[in-house]
Amino acid sequence: MANVSSWQAIRLVRRGIHNYITKRLLVVAYEVTLSCNCNCRHCDLGGLIKGEKQIKPEEYGDLTRRLSPVVVLFSGGEPLLRKDIAAIVKAVKQSDGTPYLILIGNGVLLNESNYLQLREAGVNQFSVSLDFPDERHDEFRRRPGLYKRLEQRLPRLAKLGFRDIILNTAITKANLREILPLAKKATEWGVDISYSAYTALRTGNEDYCLNNGEDLGILRQAINELVALRKRDNHIANPEAVLLNTLKFFEQGYMPDCKAGIRSLVVMPDGSLVPCSLHRSKYATRKEMVEKFSRTNPCSSCYVALRSYSELSVLNHMKSIPHYTKRLFA
């Protein structure tokens, strides 16, 4: 069953081309709260924040109209900790029906009832983080019982037949040998999987970086196998170019030409605009952000999913259309 209508697909392509040519935003990430019910080893967040200033659902609607992106991400922190998350999604959808809406979460609170409610509100894709294909995930996320919960719930949600769940794996030194087993797990659960790259910028912890020839050799082989696998198995969501760029990022230790502020930006829980989750200097408008940050931004220290997708060339997006279509209309 398709998770976008043919009409939405046409509008998405039209806006994508328009925003690309006119140098507008492709992706806006709403970090609706920085509170979290996990405390992951690779992340600087974790725990609840008391008295966080949060904008209201209708303000997300206004922002979406103003920023007019192609893709909206609801992230955090853990977005399902916001009791009004469905109202936020609905306000975004009603203000501007075009963007593709992705909810990124750790899955702790995801169940059939809120999954269906959020779909109804307008979510097109549920991105659920998974770092290991077994209980090591609980240890990494410091959340006992999480893997079991995902193992029970995700295949059940997948069986509802909407083909809108994608596992999200940040590759680290710790899960390097689990890249292929994670892809197998996705197929077994009837969901898709997308890979991104660890950056030490969040925590300053270099222990999860791939820092020697052996690590890179393992990664190279795994990426080559994923590239071959995605030709036969459409559960791998990354375009081939993103997989190859992820390898390049680890090999070089950087990825130049960051387009934070130009192709994407992040909105903090209080509504302020920042270039990315790792550079949280606030700007009153996107124009000011481009002038004061993006044009001279020397940072090249991450290749997280937000970057890898929003900076992909038109040619590579076009090359991936048959793969996207197969997945969207599966």
Which positions touch ligand SF4 (CB under 6 A)? 36, 38-40, 43, 45-46, 76-78, 106, 141, 201, 258, 260, 275-276, 278-279, 297, 299-302, 307
| Residue 87 interacts with which of ligand SAM, ligand SF4, none, CB < 5 to 8 Å by class | none
| Residue 80 contacts ligand SAM per CB under 6 A | no
260 phi-psi bin (left φ>0, alpha ψ -120 to 50, beta other): beta
Distance of alpha carbon 204 from alpha carbon 200, whole angstroms: 5
Across 72-96, b (16+ Cβ under 10 Å) vs e yields: bbbbbbbbbbbeebbbbbbbbbebb
Question: 3-state DSSP call for residue 312?
Answer: coil
- What number of other Cβ atoms are within 10 A of residue 37's Cβ? 18
| Residue 261 interacts with which of ligand SAM, ligand SF4, none, CB < 5 to 8 Å by class | none
* Sites for ligand SAM among residues 1-30 (CB under 6 A): none
* Sites for ligand SAM among residues 114-133 (CB under 6 A): 129
- State the nearest-atom distance from the C-beta of 103 to ligand SF4, in Å: 12
| Residue 130 interacts with which of ligand SF4, ligand SAM, none, CB < 5 to 8 Å by class | none
Q: Which two tokens stand for residue 277?
A: 């989750």
| Residue 300 interacts with which of ligand SF4, ligand SAM, none, CB < 5 to 8 Å by class | ligand SF4
Q: Are strands 273-274 and 264-267 parallel, antiparallel or unpaired?
A: antiparallel
Task: Kindly tell me which of 42 and 327 has the beta carbon lying closer to ligand SAM.
Answer: 42
Q: Which two tokens stand for residue 82?
A: 């916001």
Q: Which residues lie closer than 8 Å to 162 by C-beta, 6 or more apart?
A: 1, 3, 119
Contact mark string toward ligand SAM, 290..319, x via CB under 6 A: --------------x---------------
| Interface ranges with ligand SAM (CB under 6 A) | 36, 42-43, 75-76, 78, 104-106, 129, 168, 170, 196, 198-199, 202, 304
